[in-house]
Structure 1
Amino acid sequence: MKFLFIPVLFLFFACDSTEKTTASAEVVNLTTFEDKLSYSLGADHAHSISESGDPYFDKYKIDELVKGFEAGFTDSTVFDQACEETMRKLYGPEGQKFDTTYVNEGSNCLGKLSGIVFKASWKKKGALSKINFKKAVIGFRHGLMRIDTLVSKAEQGKMIQTFFEDLNKMNGTAMLEKARKLPNTVATASGIILQTLKAGSGGKPAPGDDILAHYILMNSMGDTLQSSFEMVNVYKQPLNAFSLNGVVPGWQEGMPMMQKGGTYKLYLPYQLAYGEAGMFNPQSNSYDIQPFESLIFYIELLNYGKPGTLTKNNVNR
Structure 2
Amino acid sequence: MKKYLQIALMLFCVLVVSSCSKNEDALEVDEAWKIENDEAFQAQIFAPGFQQLKSQSNEGFILYKVIKEGEGKEPIYYTSTVKAYYKGSLIDGTVFESHTFEEGAPSKFEVSGVVDGWTTALQHMHVGDKWEIWIPQQLGYGASGKKAQAAGQITILPYTTLIFELEVAEIVKQ
TM (norm. structure 2) is 0.71
Change in Cα spacing, 1:239 to 1:179, as seen in structure 2 (3 Å) is same
Q: What residue identity is the alignment partner of 2:49?
A: N
Q: How does 1:1-317 map to 2 (within 5 A)?
A: 161-163=28-30, 166-189=31-54, 190-203=60-73, 204-229=75-100, 233=103, 238-281=105-148, 288-307=155-174
TM (norm. structure 1) is 0.41
Taking the aligned partners of 2:49 and 2:129, their CA distance within structure 1 comes to 13
Per-residue deviation at 1:282?
5.9
- What stretches of structure 2 of length at least 5 have no aligned partner? 1-20, 55-59
C-alpha deviations, 1:122-149, integer Å up to 9, x for none?
Answer: xxxxxxxxxxxxxxxxxxxxxxxxxxxx
Taking the aligned partners of 1:162 and 1:240, their CA distance within structure 2 comes to 30
Change in Cα spacing, 1:240 to 1:222, as seen in structure 2 (3 Å) is closer
Deviation larger for 187-196 or 243-252: 187-196
Per-residue deviation at 1:287?
5.5
Q: Percent identity?
A: 22
Between Structure 1 and Structure 2, how many residues are aligned?
144
Larger C-alpha radius of gyration, 1 or 2?
A: 1
Provide the residue aligned with 2:10 in structure 1. Answer: none
2:86 partner SS = strand
Taking the aligned partners of 1:256 and 1:213, their CA distance within structure 2 comes to 13
Taking the aligned partners of 2:117 and 2:128, their CA distance within structure 1 comes to 20
Change in Cα spacing, 1:304 to 1:288, as seen in structure 2 (3 Å) is same
CA RMSD in angstroms, aligned pairs only: 2.7
Change in Cα spacing, 1:305 to 1:276, as seen in structure 2 (3 Å) is same
- What stretches of structure 1 of length at least 5 have no aligned partner? 1-153, 308-317
Taking the aligned partners of 1:301 and 1:257, their CA distance within structure 2 comes to 11
Which structure has more strand as a fraction of its residues?
2
